[in-house]
Chain A
């Protein structure tokens, strides 16, 4: 078994575990809708992974094998735009939830707001690390 197959097999096993876990939660915790939705997502993940395992490729390998330099440039630009967009979304919703907390005094809003700000900080630190890496290696 080559490393690609091993990796895909691990993904299949993880997605089966998620599927079983979601079904178990659905049947034992009072047939709640959220567990059924989780099971549907897990099934989707399982289907994709079993397909990739049989085909013996990963998404990234598949993309790289069929991509020319412009495709890679587009992937890079769209990833950059997505990151910027997510950063702005986190900032706007973070402020929004903290404002909601100040109005309603509901602790849940503060937790959500702070989680979003923590995400911004993590993204910023990751950006600094990757920038420093590419500054040295490009």
Chain B
């Protein structure tokens, strides 16, 4: 899923290691999250949002991602 973790992390001047320690996960998990390969649990997403001082909606571009997902449910012509 598309997200702004890398963008926010760089804006805050944090390393992946520092962010990993702040949200109690491994650096590998942060890398995977930034690449959009792994979708976090609700609690991890909330922790990340708190660290960056934003909301989960904004961090995970939920509106945009939902529009993308809605396409799957559209009836096929």
Chain A interface residues toward B at CB < 8 A: 68-71, 73
Chain B residue nearest to A69 (CB atoms) is B41
Chain A residue nearest to B38 (CB atoms) is A70
Chain B interface residues toward A at CB < 8 A: 24-26, 28-29, 32, 38, 40-41, 44
Q: Are B26 and A71 in contact (CB under 8 A)?
A: yes
Question: Can you list the 9 inter-chain pairs with the closest CB atoms, starting with the nearest?
Answer: A68-B25, A70-B29, A68-B26, A69-B41, A70-B38, A68-B29, A70-B32, A69-B44, A70-B25
Q: How far is the CA of A128 from the CA of B40 in the complex (A)?
A: 28
Interchain nearest-CB distance for B1 vs A (Å): 14
Q: Are A68 and B24 in contact (CB under 8 A)?
A: yes
A interface secondary structure, majority = helix
B interface secondary structure, majority = loop
Q: How far is the CA of A70 from the CA of B32 in the complex (A)?
A: 9
Residues of B within 8 A of A68 (CB): 24-26, 29
Residues of A within 8 A of B40 (CB): 69
Interchain nearest-CB distance for A71 vs B (Å): 7
Residues of A within 8 A of B32 (CB): 70
Interchain nearest-CB distance for B2 vs A (Å): 18
Known: A68-B25, A68-B29, A69-B40; 11 extra A-B contacts, CB below 8 A, are A68-B24, A68-B26, A69-B25, A69-B29, A69-B41, A69-B44, A70-B25, A70-B26, A70-B28, A71-B26, A73-B38
Residues of A within 8 A of B28 (CB): 70
Chain A residue nearest to B43 (CB atoms) is A69
Interchain nearest-CB distance for A64 vs B (Å): 14
Residues of A within 8 A of B38 (CB): 70, 73
Q: How far is the CA of A94 from the CA of B40 in the complex (A)?
A: 40
Residues of B within 8 A of A70 (CB): 25-26, 28-29, 32, 38
Jot down 18 A-B pairs with beta carbons below 8 A, ordered by A: A68-B24, A68-B25, A68-B26, A68-B29, A69-B25, A69-B29, A69-B40, A69-B41, A69-B44, A70-B25, A70-B26, A70-B28, A70-B29, A70-B32, A70-B38, A71-B26, A71-B29, A73-B38
